[in-house]
Structure 1
Amino acid sequence: MAGPESREQPRQSGVAAAARWTPTEEDEQAVEAMKAYGSPADEDVHLPSRPESARIARRLARYVVLRQWGLGPTLAEHTVLLVSELVGNAVRHTGARVFTLRVQKRPGRIRVEVRDPSRGLPCLMPVAELDISGRGLFLVDKLSDRWGVDLGPRGKTTWFEMRLTDR
């Protein structure tokens, strides 16, 4: 039962809700992360290769997709999950001290890139129902519209893209 201070609000359009948006704790933490590291929508964000950097990368990506660009929550959730997988791979498998995150909005799609100094290629492995690890690239393959790896002279960029329509 609702208390005297709570009032049920009627559903509003996305535009009206966005106009009255107030920052949540997660948004405030994302803004603080942007102050510390920069915005991945504006520049390559350099993060230390530590497990806790996955949380920072997720916050940054979610904030850019959902709050800055105003794209839908499903797209934001999928982006956050896939960012977590790519960052986890960079932290666990590359031996790098730093990796970079970039989130770009292109016509009709978004592109997320994680760059690290390793030239070791990620491998999409078959996944069985009871597997407890090794599902990262499987998820990237299933939830993104395209993904790949670009080798450079000093490492690689693992990326995925998602269409902005049909989501």
Structure 2
Amino acid sequence: MVEPALERTLAPDDPRSPVILDLVGNPALKEVQLSSRPEQAGTARKLTVAVLRQWNVGSLAEVGELLVSELVGNAVRHTGARTFGLRMGRRRGWVRVEVRDPSRALPCLVPIVRDLDESGRGLFLVDRLSDRWGVDLLPRGKTTWFELRAPQ
């Protein structure tokens, strides 16, 4: 698990941010387990940005950072889990980011989000900004994922 002090030390635009992959783990190589605390969304963002830069698709960093934050926020707020997993994959023309949690409750996309609504924007943003997204039910839990088209 990532300590809060580390959370504050590495900004996503810091050229040393790949160091976080060594300290926490590389979600492109193996699922990284993070504790279900709101501040861990920052760690997930940093990991996502570091991997995207490592893959030379830094142009996806801003949207990837936002969308992973939304998926982590849902996992932390709505599942009651102690931990969640972050994993990333790449295939020709696509980048995939996955957040796994032990709850089998499906996330709900709110079709219309109004200005004064206090919740419901997370999956709305994922739906609007990703090229594809979905949920895979597992024997114990689920994986919520999004995909972005990657420049060749």
Structure 2 counterpart of 1:107, from 87, 92, 97:
92
Question: Once the two structures are superposed, what CA deviation does each residue of 1:49-106 show, in whole Å capped at 9, x if it has no partner?
Answer: 001110000000001102x011143x11000000000000000000000100011111
- Inter-CA distance 25–111: structure 2 relative to 1 (3 Å threshold): closer
Match of 1:148 in 2: 134
Match of 1:19 in 2: none
- Inter-CA distance 51–29: structure 2 relative to 1 (3 Å threshold): farther
Distance 2:21 2:36 in 1: 17
- Inter-CA distance 25–138: structure 2 relative to 1 (3 Å threshold): closer
Match of 1:44 in 2: 31
In structure 1, give the amino acid aligned to 2:137. Answer: L
Decide whether the 8 Å contact of 2:71 with 2:99 is kept in 1: yes
Distance 1:41 1:50 in 2: 22
Match of 1:71 in 2: 57
Decide whether the 8 Å contact of 2:12 with 2:50 is kept in 1: no
Is residue 122 of structure 1 aligned with residue 107 of structure 2? Answer: yes
Query: Matched residue pairs, number?
Result: 142
Distance 2:19 2:13 in 1: 10
Question: Once the two structures are superposed, what CA deviation does each residue of 1:11-47 show, in whole Å capped at 9, x if it has no partner?
Answer: xxxxxxxxxxxx9885466344323321011110000
Question: Once the two structures are superposed, what CA deviation does each residue of 1:112-135 show, in whole Å capped at 9, x if it has no partner?
Answer: 000000001000012113323210
* Structure 2 residue ranges without an equivalent (≥5): 1-9
Q: TM-score, normalised by structure 1?
A: 0.78
In structure 2, give the amino acid aligned to 1:145. Answer: D
**SS in structure 1 opposite 2:61?**
helix
Name the larger-Rg structure.
1
CA RMSD in angstroms comes to 2.1
Q: TM-score, normalised by structure 2?
A: 0.85
